[in-house]
């Protein structure tokens, strides 16, 4: 973290009319680090993601990315260009796969821009230039690599919509990784997964961080995932940043316990109350 | 009498709730009675004394009772008792055969056929026939018990059959289409109808790129058809360009109109997009009607030159210095030569459209179209430019419409705004949707049904369109995803391995 950080967010504010969804949030996310973003429902976590990935234009703020592909000011770029040029990949809270297309096709579509160049913007591909065939073979190999990583190789020719829920979550991560990102933004990847699947997810995310050498930004409700794998955690509440630090620091931060973990502990305590009655 | 027989035949077991089925069958009959008595039971005819009302209650009653019986039998069949369905269906077929025979012999008994129009009688006879075949199949395979297949299962079954014979069916259809003019039964009328059908197949394939692949609901597709037709008409009459030179210009012209429409509607999706494209289609027609000094207004443009065979015209008497097609090949002149030539021309165009689509589906742009149809937000997150992707789909779809349009102008020798009304857009869209969005062979079947059927059902006169509607409703009920709603992946990882 001594050199320029991968992602620097400064004074990010997003207003929807009178509603301030994100209010003056600043944080940094380091390269080869997993940065967790937590907070109660409606805290503005997904809004931060949407600003980062170009789905919203922030009202105020600077989002500076300094990755392997160069330096970019994300707040000034069009949505699709952030993914195409700057290398920001994301997944969605409610899974957004191309459900009617096969698993493999989902991963090939993720490599669209590279293939588009190889096909000579369709003209070369139409007449069957060898360059395109080679590029397509490479794309298949990369897809196969990621399918092996997420354990979906045997289901590569299924319709993506027919995968079991956990498989769809993993496929979405594989699809995001096929764009060769410098930072991967995951919006609640463990939602709806059982304990074993979350443990596998932790493993996968750690290995992506270590082997692909990219930064990961992670929104998550599942504390076992966030606390277990994050190198660094940011806590949002009502659109403001209330804490920033390592998992141990966050766990002991009184503001966080009041805003977030306290409620979660109460939830956990519910069955005990029931027994006592 | 058949109802009595059927109820006797099924008394051998109490595992099936006959009262429930009978109640539902009577209900179905009553619903038919109510609907049909209003729709077809009353007919207004104009006589010398003014309008009079004819009733056709015999047909309505026959239809209602028939529906009740068939419903009862088919429900029994689904409940695992196929025998009464086979017996009842056979009885109905025998009765139909006797009546039909009597009708052909001119006997008075022949008047007892339930419907006035023969086509309807034959169509109605298909129902007990399918009942018998299904029942026999179930008896043969012995696996009827409790099998009620849902619509999606039926579609899957059909798709599996189709997949097995996919290539073969396609090749057979192409061979048939090429051989059609040389068949013994081919005549000028048949080829004319076939040319019309193939034109719509080409339009359907073109629209399939926009609606089926890219998922952009376009209700104004006929506008691009019109642009192509008028481009060729004007280039031919004002500039004197030949068909083959004007064709690419017309295609490019339509494509640029596609871009023109595409730009303002980039942000719209679904219903909103459909409404705007509908408006665009009407605008083009209104402009063609009102810009009279440029487009000829409602009178249209006539004397459009016909396409030639590599410069050899299809004419009886050649202009001096020009050799005709018949002279060059040493044939006798026949007007059929041009009809056949036009048929092969549009067939070639349509096949080019088809192969282009099949190929582009496997290229990045085609996959991006399909991804855009599935989820535009995810596409943006993957760095796909939604604007360019949508615009290319609009432009390429429009280009094929424009080429079909110039063919239309060349075939008719005359264009006017009346050929490009909204109904045309609706029919083309119906072909694509009923065929199954995104499938190529489904479009062929749907075009044959929707364009060919009204031509062959002319006997029904006014009720031709009702039959058209019934056909669409039946497809909706039985195959809600279209006749062939199957999508093959464009690329496989585990090809050749056992299917899971």
Query: Is there a single domain that holds both residue B120 and residue B204?
Result: no
In a domain, B489, yes or no: no
Q: Where are the domains of chain A?
A: 1-87+180-277, 96-179
With a pLDDT cut of 70, the percent of chain B lying above it is 86
pLDDT in tens, B393-451: 999 999 999 999 999 998 888 898 988 988 889 889 888 888 877 788 888 888 888 88
In a domain, B497, yes or no: no
Query: Is there a single domain that holds both residue B89 and residue B232?
Result: no
Half-sphere exposure (Cβ direction) of A130: Cα atoms closer than 13 Å = 0
In a domain, B498, yes or no: no
**CA–CA separation, B233 vs B166, rounded Å?**
39
Q: What is the pTM of this model?
A: 0.79
Among residues B148, B183, B205, which one ends one of the domains? Answer: B148
Query: Is there a single domain that holds both residue B32 and residue B174?
Result: no
**CA–CA separation, B214 vs B110, rounded Å?**
54
According to DSSP, the β-strands at A215-219 and A34-38 are parallel
Question: Does the beta carbon of B489 lie under 8 angstroms from any beta carbon of chain A?
Answer: yes
Q: Is the pLDDT confidence value at B3 over 50?
A: no
Q: Dihedrals φ, ψ of A7, to 5°?
A: -130, 125
Please say whether the beta carbons of A175 and A107 come within 8 A.
yes
ipTM value of the model?
0.85
Query: Is there a single domain that holds both residue B117 and residue B238?
Result: no
- B382–A101: do the CB atoms touch at under 8 Å? no
CA dihedral B433, B437, B442, B445 (to 10 degrees): 10
User: To probe the interface with A, which of B255, B352, B378 has the most A CB atoms within 10 Å?
Assistant: B378
Query: Is there a single domain that holds both residue B234 and residue B308?
Result: yes
- A89–B381: do the CB atoms touch at under 8 Å? yes
Among residues B125, B148, B171, which one ends one of the domains? Answer: B148
In angstroms, the separation between the Cα of residue B107 and the nearest Cα of chain A is 58
With a pLDDT cut of 70, the percent of chain A lying above it is 91
Query: Is there a single domain that holds both residue B368 and residue B459?
Result: yes
In a domain, B292, yes or no: yes
The answer regarding whether domain A1-87+180-277 maps to CATH 3.30.590.10 reads: no
Query: Is there a single domain that holds both residue B61 and residue B187?
Result: no
Of B370, B487, B489, the CB nearest to A104: B489
Which range marks the domain in which residue B200 is found?
160-478
Taking CB atoms and an 8 Å cutoff, what residues of chain A touch B381? 53, 55, 83, 89-90, 92, 96, 176
User: To probe the interface with A, which of B255, B381, B385 has the most A CB atoms within 10 Å?
Assistant: B381
Which is nearest to B417 in space by CA: B278, B300, B303? B300
Mean pLDDT of B114-129: 78
**CA–CA separation, A133 vs A119, rounded Å?**
8
Query: Is there a single domain that holds both residue B324 and residue B363?
Result: yes
Query: What angle is formed at CA B270 by the lines to CA B268 and CA B275, rounded to 5 degrees?
Result: 75
- A112–B381: do the CB atoms touch at under 8 Å? no
- How many distinct structural domains can be found in chain B? 2
Taking CB atoms and an 8 Å cutoff, what residues of chain A touch B368? 109, 112, 116
Backbone torsion region of residue A15, taken as left when φ is above 0, otherwise alpha when ψ lies between -120 and 50, otherwise beta? beta
- Min mean pLDDT across A211-225, B44-58, B136-150, B289-303 is at B136-150
Query: Is there a single domain that holds both residue B185 and residue B251?
Result: yes
Query: Is there a single domain that holds both residue B113 and residue B174?
Result: no
In a domain, B488, yes or no: no
Query: Is there a single domain that holds both residue B166 and residue B33?
Result: no
Q: Is the pLDDT confidence value at B21 over 50?
A: yes
Helical spans, DSSP H, in B79-187: 82-105, 118-141, 151-164, 166-179
**CA–CA separation, A198 vs A206, rounded Å?**
12
In a domain, B484, yes or no: no
For A181-209, b/e burial (b = at least 16 CB within 10 A) is: bbbbbbbbbbbebeeebbebbbebbeebb
In a domain, B490, yes or no: no
**CA–CA separation, B369 vs B389, rounded Å?**
7
pLDDT in tens, B291-300: 888 888 888 8
CATH code assigned at B353 = 1.10.3470
Ranges of beta strands (E only) in A195-275 are 215-219, 232-237, 240-245
User: To probe the interface with B, which of A105, A179, A182 has the most B CB atoms within 10 Å?
Assistant: A105
pLDDT in tens, chain A (277 residues): 446 788 888 888 888 888 888 888 888 888 888 888 888 888 888 888 888 888 888 888 888 888 788 888 877 888 788 878 888 888 988 889 898 888 999 999 988 888 887 776 777 667 777 778 888 888 888 899 999 888 888 888 888 888 888 889 889 999 999 988 888 899 888 888 888 888 888 888 888 888 888 888 888 887 778 888 888 888 888 888 888 888 888 888 888 887 765 554 444 444 444 333 3
In a domain, B259, yes or no: yes
Distances (CA, A) of B433 to B253, B447, B450: 27, 11, 12
Query: Is there a single domain that holds both residue B234 and residue B164?
Result: yes
């Amino acid at each position: 973290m001594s050199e320029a950080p991968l992602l620097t967010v400064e004074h990010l504010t997003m207003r929807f009319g009178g509603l301030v969804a994100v209010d003056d949030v600043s944080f940094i996310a380091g390269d080869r680090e997993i940065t967790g973003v937590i907070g109660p429902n409606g805290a503005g976590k997904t809004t931060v993601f949407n600003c980062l990935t170009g789905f919203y234009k922030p009202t105020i703020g600077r989002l500076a990315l300094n990755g392997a592909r160069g330096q970019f000011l994300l707040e000034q770029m069009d949505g699709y260009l952030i993914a195409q040029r700057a290398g920001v990949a994301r997944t969605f809270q409610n899974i957004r796969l191309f459900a009617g297309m096969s698993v493999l096709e989902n991963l090939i579509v993720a490599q669209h821009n590279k293939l588009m160049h190889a096909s000579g913007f369709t003209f070369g591909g139409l007449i069957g230039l060898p360059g395109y065939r080679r590029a397509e073979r490479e794309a298949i190999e990369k897809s196969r690599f990621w399918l092996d990583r997420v354990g979906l190789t045997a289901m590569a020719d299924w319709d993506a919509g027919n995968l079991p829920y956990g498989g769809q979550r993993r496929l979405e991560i594989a699809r995001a990784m096929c764009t060769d990102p410098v930072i991967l933004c995951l919006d609640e990847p463990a939602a709806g997964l059982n304990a074993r699947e979350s443990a596998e997810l932790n493993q996968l995310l750690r290995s992506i961080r270590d082997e692909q050498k990219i930064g990961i930004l992670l929104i998550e409700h599942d504390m076992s995932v966030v606390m277990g794998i994050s190198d660094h955690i940011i806590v949002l509440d009502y659109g403001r940043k209330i804490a920033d630090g390592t998992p141990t620091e966050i766990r002991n931060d009184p503001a966080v316990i009041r805003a977030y973990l306290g409620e979660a502990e109460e939830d956990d305590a519910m069955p005990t109350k029931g027994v006592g009655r | 009498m058949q109802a009595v027989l059927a109820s006797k035949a099924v008394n051998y077991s109490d595992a099936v709730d006959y009262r429930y089925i009978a109640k539902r069958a009577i209900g179905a009959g009553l619903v038919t009675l109510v609907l049909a008595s209003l729709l077809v039971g009353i007919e207004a005819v104009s006589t010398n004394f003014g309008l009079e009302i004819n009733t056709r209650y015999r047909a309505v009653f026959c239809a209602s009772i028939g529906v009740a019986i068939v419903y009862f039998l088919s429900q029994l069949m689904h409940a695992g008792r196929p025998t009464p369905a086979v017996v009842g269906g056979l009885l109905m077929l025998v009765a139909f055969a006797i009546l039909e025979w009597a009708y052909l012999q001119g006997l008075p008994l022949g008047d007892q056929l339930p419907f006035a129009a023969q086509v309807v009688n034959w169509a109605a006879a298909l129902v007990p026939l399918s009942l018998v075949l299904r029942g026999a199949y179930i008896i043969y395979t012995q696996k009827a018990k409790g099998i009620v297949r849902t619509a999606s299962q039926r579609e899957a079954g059909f798709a599996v059959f189709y997949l097995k014979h996919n290539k073969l069916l396609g090749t057979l259809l192409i061979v048939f289409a090429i051989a059609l003019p040389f068949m013994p039964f081919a005549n000028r009328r048949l080829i004319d109808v076939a040319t019309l059908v193939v034109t719509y197949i080409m339009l359907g394939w073109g629209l399939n790129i926009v609606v089926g692949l890219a998922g952009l609901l376009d209700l104004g597709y006929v506008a691009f058809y019109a642009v192509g037709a008028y481009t060729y008409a004007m280039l031919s009459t004002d500039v004197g360009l030949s068909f083959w030179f004007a064709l690419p210009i017309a295609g490019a012209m339509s494509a640029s109109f596609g871009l023109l429409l595409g730009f303002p509607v980039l942000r719209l999706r679904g219903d909103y997009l459909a409404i705007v494209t509908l408006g665009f289609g009407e605008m083009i027609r209104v402009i063609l009607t009102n810009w009279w000094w440029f487009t000829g207004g409602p009178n249209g443009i006539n004397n459009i030159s016909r396409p030639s065979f590599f410069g050899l015209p299809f004419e009886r008497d050649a202009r001096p210095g020009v050799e005709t097609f018949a002279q060059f090949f040493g044939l006798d002149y026949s007007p059929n030569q041009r009809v056949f030539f036009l048929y092969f021309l549009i067939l070639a165009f349509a096949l080019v459209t088809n192969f282009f689509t099949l190929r582009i589906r496997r290229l990045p742009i085609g996959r991006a179209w399909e991804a855009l149809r599935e989820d535009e937000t995810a596409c943006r997150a993957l760095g796909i430019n939604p604007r360019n992707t949508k615009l290319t789909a609009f432009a390429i779809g429009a280009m094929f419409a424009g080429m079909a349009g110039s063919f239309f102008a060349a075939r008719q020798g005359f264009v006017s705004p009346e050929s490009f009304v909204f109904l045309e857009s609706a029919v083309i869209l119906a072909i694509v949707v009923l065929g199954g969005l995104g499938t190529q062979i489904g479009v062929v079947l749907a075009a044959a049904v929707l364009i060919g059927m009204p031509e062959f059902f002319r006997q029904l006169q006014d009720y031709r369109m009702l039959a058209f509607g019934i056909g669409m409703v039946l497809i909706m009920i039985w195959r809600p995803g279209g006749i062939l709603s199957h999508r093959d992946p464009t690329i496989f990882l585990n090809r050749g391995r056992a299917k899971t």
